Amino acid sequence: GQNIDQPTEMTATEGAIVQINCTYQTSGFNGLFWYQQHAGEAPTFLSYNVLDGLEEKGRFSSFLSRSKGYSYLLLKELQMKDSASYLCAAPREGQAGTALIFGKGTTLSVSS
């Protein structure tokens, strides 16, 4: 079967760095996605990792270790607008282009 786990909630302060972890079990593997979802809004794409290592994109970076079934999203120089839910997701049964299996999301609260 497939399973994606991530912490339910995290808190941090403006300007800080936060790391949101995700562990997954899939029958196959075809990449891992991170999405951001502000309350009441649609999820928006942040990153995609298919190879081991760190992918940096401005203040956000995403890391993948396929051997450990582990990923994290790193947010630097936190801003209030980063308060949102962060969703880790993987293709169902590792098949490219199919629907995604999502974790329940990590709600990040950034305070001043």
Partner 1 sequence: GAGVSQSPSNKVTEKGKDVELRCDPISGHTALYWYRQSLGQGLEFLIYFQGNSAPDKSGLPSDRFSAERTGGSVSTLTIQRTQQEDSAVYLCASSLGDVSNQPQHFGDGTRLSIL
User: Which residues lie near partner 1 (CB under 8 A)?
Assistant: 4, 30-31, 33, 41-45, 48, 50, 87, 89, 91-92, 96-105
> To the nearest whole angstrom, how small is the minimum distance from the Cβ of residue 31 to partner 1?
5
> For the purposes of burial, counting CB atoms within 10 Å of the CB of 64, is it exposed (0-12), middle (13-18) or buried (19 or more)?
buried
> To the nearest whole angstrom, how small is the minimum distance from the Cβ of residue 25 to partner 1?
15
> To the nearest whole angstrom, how small is the minimum distance from the Cβ of residue 100 to partner 1?
7
Edge to edge, the sheet with strand 70-75 lists: 3-5, 18-25, 70-75, 60-65, 53-57
